[in-house]
Structure 1
């Protein structure tokens, strides 16, 4: 998810991608991944978790090999889309396997704590590795590196994950799958096009309207059929619903940090890709600290008492990002932002993943898939909305102060970050009200 970001400038030059075209390296992955996660969750139940893990890993590795060998943009985009497809099969199987393997409360908290640590470490490693591989080898190794990782994961899966027969009576809701996939992809596409074409463009409005309409039809269909793709009881559960909202909001805030600080470090402060990647490490450190703090509390504290402080911690980091000056320093201005956002992210993700899958029974894979679906929609929304805000503010500032390009860019980042901080505060309030006075987090 993160390794390709710092490689984008090198990749763009190598394959002669246009500025609007380069975003599709990221967006087309999000389209395949976010659009098919619910289907992947149901397929995991249909073919069995172990088999889904192996198919997902193998397909992801082959898609990565194709991307590394890309001769033109079309070949690369195809590979990235396939990575998204197989990633959508892989993720729900991971969460369902964890939930089934560690049903006891004490073990469950530790398992999801380790999962959160691995997830956070890999995202930080992706940023650093992307810079190192791009600087010292070639951007293509940002794709090839997935092959040995997938091979090790496949060997571990064959060794450690017990074969489980497919769940009895599971059927794939074809109509629901088509509607969910089409609706989610239309939303992701609309959010992505808003960044390049503007919110008033026909493609943006049409895609967003189509996405909302198709998803509304999806909800109606899910109410009326016997074996729905997404049983509405999954999202109507107060604690699960609050968890999904928290993760969606978290993704909006995470985008602001990753995107704005990537450009701030490289374009304003003049960091190299490697140095910029290393500069992101406090984000991972904060995430791991958040995981360590929250894991022992999962069985003792209320869900909202875990989710809300996490969201407010991210909001505090974004508020500091809104105050970063043009000629700022890394330690006084950037480090606290990374650490606070990472801390809140680890806090929320572990709680949300554990809450979503507890007691879900036959819906475990789909309930887990909804966590990542929420994250993808939130990331897409954050990309479109906050980029548009930052770009508009920067353009206005540049017109008023010609030649002050760096100042204009930072001013745009500042305003958008403060807006994101306010959004996270409102989201924390909504999550607090939604989750109610439920018992301890699972």
Structure 2
């Protein structure tokens, strides 16, 4: 738990900085891919794995990371996650061939999946009053909302001005500051203990990794995983987590949002660069209104945020066509950002509220829902 005085808020910023490091890395390398590919002499398949390796490892290990944070203790998982992610970033910056850069990206995904559920669980257990929770998750939403814009702009700028390797090295100073903040503000506390559901972990990791590569690939192992969770005494994802109506509704909302938004953003990325002819750096800047809308949504209170957010996201998809940036892409990005900001802030708050010893895995189910939705959305858009 975060310390119960004003240092809780400094702790929130430390946790958020660590999460920013992970979230930025999901987009910063994308803009740098052409330079990275040329420098290392990567094939087309190897280049795709630079992106897919991170996504597969992160999405596949989230539930396992959430359960480990419950069993082993959140502070321990945060520290291992930050240090491991920093080491993997250094490895990626020093990469000299395809095997090294892909391995670095996979390790980043694994350690990111250990960090993220622990951070969300700490927020859920440290801020308990409605006012504090709304404020805390609003700040968290601001940090997360800025990640896409920061990643796209920094990725293009660092690659163009310096070298693609600096896109990887950026995680090192962020990790150092986050590590100091976590050590100063997070109270050491033991986990609940218990055994890991090894069979469930294998099924979930395999299923979610397959889902990131294409949602239909993971359908069978995830179905077997859910069947297994009802029959094992130490489930990785206790069925009671999903039986909570509000929590289940939050997961479904994130699934629907990410299906719509990732599909739309996939189309927009190609529209901006292929149809409108924008370069990587300028294309990254063109996405800033989307980021700004997410930041704005994190500080606007609306009734029924899940429903309101999904309505706006759906409207953004309907309005998205093949027109100009100002009349087509920009309005869709703003609506998508507002809707996404409302849904994600409320979903993270709801998922961890009153989750008790399941807070880690309950929080992990939010990005899991996002990963599944992203896979479906991109598959439908491609």
Give me the TM-score of the superposition, normalised by structure 2.
0.90
For the residue of structure 2 that corresponds to 1:369, the secondary structure is helix
- The correspondence for 2:271, drawn from 264, 268, 282, is 264
* Bigger mean CA offset, 253-262 vs 38-47: 253-262
The reply to whether residue 189 of structure 1 matches residue 213 of structure 2 is: yes
* Bigger mean CA offset, 55-64 vs 244-253: 244-253
The reply to whether residue 2 of structure 1 matches residue 9 of structure 2 is: no
Q: Which residue of structure 2 lines up, in the alignment, with residue 280 of structure 1?
A: 287
- The correspondence for 2:243, drawn from 236, 249, 274, is 236
* Bigger mean CA offset, 229-238 vs 106-115: 229-238
Task: Render the CA deviation track for 1:36-87: whole Å, top value 9, x for unaligned.
Answer: 1011011112221111111000000111111111111111111111001000
For the residue of structure 2 that corresponds to 1:23, the secondary structure is helix
The reply to whether residue 315 of structure 1 matches residue 330 of structure 2 is: no
Distance 2:248 2:379 in 1: 24
Q: Which residue of structure 1 lines up, in the alignment, with residue 255 of structure 2?
A: 248
Do the aligned residues in 1 keep the contact of 2:121 with 2:359 (CA within 8 Å)?
yes
Distance 1:86 1:354 in 2: 23
Task: Render the CA deviation track for 1:76-122: whole Å, top value 9, x for unaligned.
Answer: 11111100100000000110111111112110111011000100012
For the residue of structure 1 that corresponds to 2:313, the secondary structure is helix
Do the aligned residues in 1 keep the contact of 2:267 with 2:381 (CA within 8 Å)?
no
Do the aligned residues in 1 keep the contact of 2:264 with 2:381 (CA within 8 Å)?
no
Distance 2:314 2:341 in 1: 14
Aligned length: 357
For the residue of structure 2 that corresponds to 1:5, the secondary structure is helix
1:221-232 aligned at under 5 Å gives the runs 221-232=228-239
Distance 1:212 1:321 in 2: 30
Q: Which residue of structure 2 lines up, in the alignment, with residue 127 of structure 1?
A: 152
- CA drift of 1:266 comes to 2.0
- The correspondence for 1:346, drawn from 336, 341, 345, is 341
The reply to whether residue 12 of structure 1 matches residue 12 of structure 2 is: no
Do the aligned residues in 2 keep the contact of 1:45 with 1:170 (CA within 8 Å)?
no
Do the aligned residues in 2 keep the contact of 1:33 with 1:85 (CA within 8 Å)?
yes
Q: Which residue of structure 2 lines up, in the alignment, with residue 365 of structure 1?
A: 360
- CA drift of 1:18 comes to 3.0
Q: Which residue of structure 2 lines up, in the alignment, with residue 418 of structure 1?
A: none
Distance 2:33 2:318 in 1: 28
The reply to whether residue 386 of structure 1 matches residue 378 of structure 2 is: no
- CA drift of 1:16 comes to 2.4
- The correspondence for 1:289, drawn from 272, 292, 296, is 296
When the two chains are superposed, the root-mean-square deviation of aligned CA atoms in Å is 1.6
1:29-428 aligned at under 5 Å gives the runs 29-167=54-192, 169-191=193-215, 208=217, 211-294=218-301, 301=303, 305-322=304-321, 324-325=322-323, 328=324, 330-387=325-382
1:424-439 aligned at under 5 Å gives the runs none
**Who wins on radius of gyration, i.e. which is larger?**
1
Task: Render the CA deviation track for 1:191-232: whole Å, top value 9, x for unaligned.
Answer: 5xxxxxxxxxxxxx7xx2xx3222222222211222211001
Task: Render the CA deviation track for 1:257-316: whole Å, top value 9, x for unaligned.
Answer: 33222222222222222221111110111001111113xx5xxx5xxx221210111111
Do the aligned residues in 1 keep the contact of 2:212 with 2:372 (CA within 8 Å)?
yes
Do the aligned residues in 2 keep the contact of 1:135 with 1:273 (CA within 8 Å)?
no
Distance 1:213 1:58 in 2: 34
Distance 1:190 1:309 in 2: 29
For the residue of structure 2 that corresponds to 1:46, the secondary structure is helix
For the residue of structure 1 that corresponds to 2:27, the secondary structure is coil
Structure 1, unpaired ranges of 5+ = 192-204, 388-442
Distance 1:236 1:166 in 2: 24
Structure 2, unpaired ranges of 5+ = 1-25
4+ residue segments displaced more than 6 Å: none
- CA drift of 1:153 comes to 0.8
Distance 1:386 1:21 in 2: 22
Distance 2:191 2:198 in 1: 18
- CA drift of 1:158 comes to 0.9
